[in-house]
Amino acid sequence: MKNRIIIIVFSVVVLAGVYFGLTKLNTKQEENNAQVNEQIPIFDVEKDSINKIEISTPNHAFTFYKKDDQWAVAGMEGIKLYNVKIDNLAYDFASINADTVIEDVSDNAIFGFNSPLGTPSVILTDGSKKEFIIGNKTPTGGAYYFKTADDDTIYTVYSSKIESFLAPLDTYREQTIAKINIEQLTEIQIKRRDADIVLRQKSSEENKDSLTSLNAWKMLSPYQRDVASYYFDSNILQKIGDINVSKFIEDNPTDYSKYGLDNPKYLISFTEKDKSPIKLLLGNIVDDEIYVKLHDEKQVYTVAYSVFEYRDIDPMMLVDTLAYIQMIDTVDNITLKASGDFYTFKIERGGEKASYFINDTAANEDAFKKIYQQIIGLTVRGIVTEMPQNEALFVLTFTFNDNRANDIIEGIPYQDRYVAIKINGIAEYYVLKDQVQNMLAKVRQFAENPL
């Protein structure tokens, strides 16, 4: 019994000792961790007291300075900077803390201060200057050796902080050279050696008076026609966005020919409401990029080739391909003369009802509207390059109910396979002869059986 009591007492003493030891060990560990995590201040000022930032490495040197609350680069004031990034750089300089202090400095060579990676400095609003020296990376790669120019104390500072002190100028430049809001676009121009395509958004008046509401854009050059909505949206509008730089090539080139920008292959222009046009010149292609400059600036950049994939678009694909279009609601009468035949199409309206006739014979409404679609459904296949002199295959005369003058549409043989469409004396486009002959055959059939 006595032995059991002794064993129990001994066990309690041992457990108490273990508990006390673990408690002391944990306390010591927490103290050590607190020492490791405690930041060691090297430099601390208000961010707004920094007036200049000088970055200097073996590869580059530049100075940021404050100008009207914006940052600029000394001697390169023309370049666009991303001010937020430089503000962040100023914050990095304003508060520099060390991870550790190096106590064993017997072998100075390992720190790299004889051949530093960088010697940045800041100049404060009071005129004072603080210089720093960046040495090698630490063996683990997570920090750099670091010191101030006026103190021999050597620190380690986290890489994420130091690498902003070593970054090249391009890191702080505005990467977007053109911001484009497609909702505000009013005009687009694609000028190249074989075409000058000008597209303009219709005014509210033009939209109100438009014969079709299929599209709010029109082409001014090389053709004067409404733009085909779906093709335009999917092949141009949806491809347009901010123009971002791939590489900054040269800021003050003396020779643009090496980039193909002395005689650019393309000029692409975007005009937004109440703003001046943004004009981009496109030069040579290198790998998957293309040389670009803004029309009124010196700098040369590269931009991803795919950004301008619409640059070679066929203007004919952009326009409404119907040779002539009129909404049936505006038409009262149509006459058609072709190969000795003569047809009169008439619509008589009374209130909300309408009656349809061909050659004074009542016609089925659906059948009448289908043949109307055949008449105005001739599709453009190309541009007339020489005025046709042949006798017309057909002549259509449209009479309207809105006090407009009549439209006269003539179909004149053009080359072997085509028919030029002359609208009120002007022939701009041609259609397939087969399509014209098919239309005339359908009209003949409808006249024979209009119900």
The residue with tokens 């509207």 is 369
Tens digit of each residue's pLDDT (9 = 90 or more) over 104-143: 887 777 899 999 999 999 999 999 999 999 999 999 999 9
Nearest to 293 by CA among 124, 78, 111: 78
Which stretches of 189-275 are DSSP H helices?
204-209, 229-235
Tens digit of each residue's pLDDT (9 = 90 or more) over 391-437: 999 999 999 999 999 999 999 999 999 999 999 999 989 999 999 99
Whether residue 14 has pLDDT greater than 80: no
**Alpha carbon distance 412, 395 (integer Å):** 9
At 451 the pLDDT is 86
Whether residue 211 has pLDDT greater than 70: no
The residue with tokens 């002869």 is 433
Can you spell out the DSSP letters for 300-337? EEEEEGGGGTTTT--HHHHB--BSS---GGGEEEEEEE
Whether residue 233 has pLDDT greater than 90: yes
At 9 the pLDDT is 37
At 166 the pLDDT is 98
At 207 the pLDDT is 65
**Alpha carbon distance 138, 117 (integer Å):** 13
Task: Count Cα atoms within 13 angstroms, Cβ side, for 126.
Answer: 6
Tens digit of each residue's pLDDT (9 = 90 or more) over 241-264: 999 999 999 999 999 999 999 999
Phi-psi map region of 432: left, alpha, beta (phi>0 left; psi -120 to 50 alpha)? beta
At 104 the pLDDT is 83
Q: Is 215 exposed, middle or buried (0-12, 13-18, 19+ CB in 10 A)?
A: buried
Q: Which residues pair with 248 in a beta bridge?
A: 301
Tens digit of each residue's pLDDT (9 = 90 or more) over 265-302: 999 999 999 999 999 999 999 999 999 999 999 999 99
Q: What is the mean pLDDT of residues 80-105?
A: 95
Q: Which residues pair with 368 in a beta bridge?
A: none
Tens digit of each residue's pLDDT (9 = 90 or more) over 31-69: 333 334 578 999 999 999 999 999 999 999 999 999 888
CB contact at 8 A, 186 and 271? yes
**Alpha carbon distance 52, 31 (integer Å):** 40
Phi/psi at 199 (nearest 5 deg)?
-120, 135
At 31 the pLDDT is 36
Task: Kindly list the distances between the CA atom of residue 368 and the CA atoms of 163, 260, 364, 445, 447, in Å, as whole numbers in the listed order.
Answer: 76, 58, 6, 12, 10
Q: 145 or 22: whose pLDDT is higher? A: 145
CA 298 to chain centre: 21
Domain residue spans in the chain? Answer: 40-172, 176-317, 328-448
Q: Given 1.10.10, 3.30.300, 2.60.40, 2.40.30, which CATH number is that of 328-448? A: 2.60.40
Hey, what CATH topology would domain 40-172 get?
A: Immunoglobulin-like (2.60.40)
**Alpha carbon distance 173, 176 (integer Å):** 9
The residue with tokens 């100008």 is 67
**Alpha carbon distance 433, 338 (integer Å):** 14
Query: What SS3 class is residue 443?
Result: helix
Strands in 138-224 per DSSP E: 143-148, 155-158, 176-178, 185-192, 195-201, 217-221
**Alpha carbon distance 47, 51 (integer Å):** 9
**Alpha carbon distance 391, 31 (integer Å):** 105
Q: Is 97 exposed, middle or buried (0-12, 13-18, 19+ CB in 10 A)?
A: middle
Q: Is 41 exposed, middle or buried (0-12, 13-18, 19+ CB in 10 A)?
A: exposed
Tell me the pTM: 0.74
Task: Count Cα atoms within 13 angstroms, Cβ side, for 327.
Answer: 10
Tens digit of each residue's pLDDT (9 = 90 or more) over 332-343: 999 999 988 999
Can you spell out the DSSP letters for 343-380? EEEEEEEETTEEEEEETTEEE-HHHHHHHHHHHT--B-
Count of CB atoms situated within 10 Å of the CB of 390: 10
At 209 the pLDDT is 56
